[in-house]
């Protein structure tokens, strides 16, 4: 059986992956859902991308994890790309779930449309600690579009302010994802409109992986809330050999 | 519960929405299926876009309708955009179902490929009353591609000649859809090839809405005939708060 | 009922279509699965595109087949386009299943990204007979991405080296597909990443057909192995009048 490590996106913690993890564990696999530095309760919101990456590198080492299928969601794609650069020997396959794919020197903000950068700039500057939150209407309409209002609201209530430096820091990689020798998959939820689909996750970002396996399933950017079982199924198709 | 007003596309009347309306009513909602001026039995085929819009504005007022989810299909997107500009206070949310999204000063013909304009020009000039009809092969292959031949033929038989001025008149809006403060959804049938998908409904036209909710379901441009229940389900996901 | 002739893609033979054919026959249709010249056991691997096309023309004539729905998969799109040019009078409808659509003077290699051409060039030059094989990692990740590993391996084991001249020969057509008067369908498996989706099957190649019927179903480039029943369903929707 396989060891999965699921790395959440911005504003989330590992806890939101637990219903998904349960469905994967039911098939006999081992699943870890760590929370990235900057999103753990009590963390400084001035954490940068390098610290975020290091926190998952440390998690793998601290738990003696090897041969893992390492999944990143959204911002988590920045994190797992850095982890794959630092400790490729611990990884069996990378899975990007509607996730950013950076080349060396790119920041998350380089990969989103200008209206998001302007929004994040404004929100972070109004915060006491350079953190960003997502306005509810954007969350409800563009991130969790497949939910009913109660689910959208309940999910929004568990989000935490995100350390903005992790969006503006440029990643440092010794090689770009397309050149990494690890097997790679892109799990694409086809109704995801968190990025405009004309400037979206797939194929714009997925194709930066070079050779990769595409798995496509219906659902929004936040399928972890709206259908954890379907997401678990997609993850296992993306993560198997 | 919600009040839905479903505005049909070119060549249709409200009657073709009745099986869809029945499935939405079965969930407890109220549904209206008015027919736009120019498509009602006996209407002049020289109706223009402004009259078409006014007929739905009048329908809302005449029936005292407020807080409505206003859906437009195809050409109906031209109509509901105009209605939203004239009487935004009556509308809770706009839903575009594989529909045109015009900015101020645009005509439907500005949003379709040149080969359609050429076809419509030729057909309307050959008509006695500046109306257009759709040749059956285009209807069968590109509009109702998910039907069997008998369904395609039966649906074609209920179509009515469409007033061409509503395609060539430029819409007058006080603000473009992206600037309208109403919540907006785009319901996208993914097999719709009535417009070439390289120059298609989504994301090309949907993204003119600014922030919007995407709901995607399988089916053709004419899912109202081929699977009214599935369409009703999509409408309710697009239309809820 | 309808007579279907299913023309396989590169590296395949007609035998791989037999489970699909069985599902179509179960609905009362007649199905032929010929193997194209160059892929039959014992065939020279120096066969060119013209011979490949001629082998299917001969098959239709030899079996007295008329009024056929002629389907081509992948490279098979090159073949059926040539057949349609040579003997249109035998064909009721063309169906392209994630298939190449060439205009007069185009080779398959003109329709794929440069990295494939470079790979094929290198592999064919290293072969004794100007044939190409597909490296297993590309097959597993990009062609049969929806399979488990055992299915991917078993399917790979039945592939045969492909005559490379059929990729480099430019097709000779008296008219391009868009001008052919035959009804045409494009059956699109939406998870197909054998071509990059930014430079992919649909809509890039499908729209070269002019007016065509789109049928879209989930699945990879090799759905014939992973879900023959679903593929058969799609073929019958694409192939009916």
- Taking CA atoms, A177 is separated from A50, A240, C81, in Å, by 17, 19, 38
- Can you tell me the ipTM of this complex? 0.96
What does the alpha-carbon distance between residue C202 and residue B198 come to, in Å, rounded to a whole number?
9
Confidence label for A93 from pLDDT (cuts 50, 70 and 90): very high
Mutation target to probe the C interface, by most C beta carbons within 10 A, among A214, A218, A240 is A214
Asked whether the beta carbons of residue A196 and residue B203 sit closer than 8 angstroms, the reply is: yes
Per-residue pLDDT tens, chain B, 241 aa: give them. 999 999 999 999 999 999 999 999 999 999 999 999 999 999 999 999 999 999 999 999 999 999 999 999 999 999 999 999 999 999 999 999 999 999 999 999 999 999 999 999 999 999 999 999 999 999 999 999 999 999 999 999 999 999 999 999 999 999 999 999 999 999 999 999 999 999 999 999 999 999 999 999 999 999 999 999 999 999 999 999 9
Q: What is the pLDDT of residues C6-34, one digit of tens each?
A: 999 999 999 999 999 999 999 999 999 99
Q: Is C216 on the interface with A (CB under 8 A)?
A: no
- Taking CA atoms, C130 is separated from C43, C123, C127, C134, C160, in Å, by 13, 8, 6, 14, 13
Q: Is C117 on the interface with A (CB under 8 A)?
A: no
Confidence label for A12 from pLDDT (cuts 50, 70 and 90): very high
Asked whether the beta carbons of residue C141 and residue A207 sit closer than 8 angstroms, the reply is: no
> What's the average model confidence in pLDDT over C49-71?
98
Tell which phi-psi region holds residue C82, choosing left (phi > 0), alpha (psi between -120 and 50) or beta.
alpha
Question: Closest approach of chain B CAs to the CA of A221, in angstroms?
Answer: 11
Helix/strand/coil for A200:
coil
Using CB atoms and an 8 Å cut-off, which of residues 151-190 of chain B contact chain A? Answer: 183, 185
- Whether C159 and C211 have beta carbons less than 8 Å apart is answered as no
Mutation target to probe the B interface, by most B beta carbons within 10 A, among C183, C214, C215, C239 is C214
Q: What is the pLDDT of residues C100-114, one digit of tens each?
A: 999 999 999 999 999
- Whether A177 and A101 have beta carbons less than 8 Å apart is answered as yes
Task: Name the packing angle between helices C76-86 and C49-62 (round to 10°).
Answer: 60
Backbone angles phi, psi at B186, to 5 degrees: -120, 115
Q: Is A58 on the interface with C (CB under 8 A)?
A: no
Asked whether the beta carbons of residue B141 and residue C183 sit closer than 8 angstroms, the reply is: yes
Q: Is A148 on the interface with B (CB under 8 A)?
A: yes
- Whether A10 and A162 have beta carbons less than 8 Å apart is answered as yes
A131 pairs with which residues across the strands? Answer: A163
Can you give the three-state secondary structure of chain B, one letter per residue? CCEEEEECCCCCCHHHHHHHHHHHHCCCCEEECCCCCCCCCCCCCCCCHHHHHHHHHHHHHHCCCCCEEEEEECCHHHHHHHHHHHCHHHEEEEEEECCCCCCCCCCHHHHCCHHHHHHHHHHHHHCCCCEECCCHHHHHHHHCCCCCHHHHHHHHHCCCCEECHHHHCCCCCCCCHHHCCCCEEEEEECCCCCCCHHHCHHHHHHHHHCCCEEEEECCCCCHHHHCHHHHHHHHHHHHCC
- Among candidates C138, C146, C190 on the partner chain, residue whose Cβ is nearest the Cβ of A211: C138
Q: Does domain B3-239 have CATH number 3.40.640.10?
A: no
- Considering only alpha carbons, which residue of chain B is nearest residue C188? B191
Q: What is the pLDDT of residues C202-211, one digit of tens each?
A: 999 999 999 9
Q: What is the pLDDT of residues A131-176, one digit of tens each?
A: 999 999 999 999 999 999 999 999 999 999 999 999 999 999 999 9
């Amino acid at each position: 059986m396989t060891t999965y490590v699921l790395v959440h996106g911005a504003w989330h913690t590992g806890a939101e992956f637990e219903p998904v993890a349960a469905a994967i564990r039911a098939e006999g696999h081992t699943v870890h859902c760590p929370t990235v530095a900057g999103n753990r309760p009590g963390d400084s919101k001035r954490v940068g991308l390098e610290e975020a990456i290091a926190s998952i590198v440390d998690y793998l080492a601290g738990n003696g994890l090897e041969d893992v299928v390492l999944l990143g969601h959204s911002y988590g794609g920045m994190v797992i790309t850095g982890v794959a650069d630092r400790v490729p020997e611990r990884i069996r396959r990378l899975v990007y779930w509607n996730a950013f794919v950076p080349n060396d020197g790119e920041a998350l903000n380089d990969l989103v449309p200008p209206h998001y950068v302007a929004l994040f700039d404004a929100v972070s500057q109004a915060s006491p600690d350079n953190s960003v939150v997502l306005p509810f209407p954007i969350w409800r309409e563009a991130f969790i579009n497949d939910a009913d209002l109660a689910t959208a609201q309940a999910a929004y209530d568990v989000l935490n302010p995100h350390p903005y430096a992790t969006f503006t820091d440029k990643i440092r990689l010794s090689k770009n994802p397309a050149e990494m020798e690890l097997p790679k998959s892109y799990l694409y939820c086809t109704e995801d409109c968190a990025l405009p689909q004309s400037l979206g996750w797939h194929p714009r970002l997925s194709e930066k992986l070079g050779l990769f396996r595409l798995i496509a399933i219906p659902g929004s950017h936040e399928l972890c809330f709206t259908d954890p079982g379907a997401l678990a199924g997609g993850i296992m198709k993306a993560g198997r050999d």
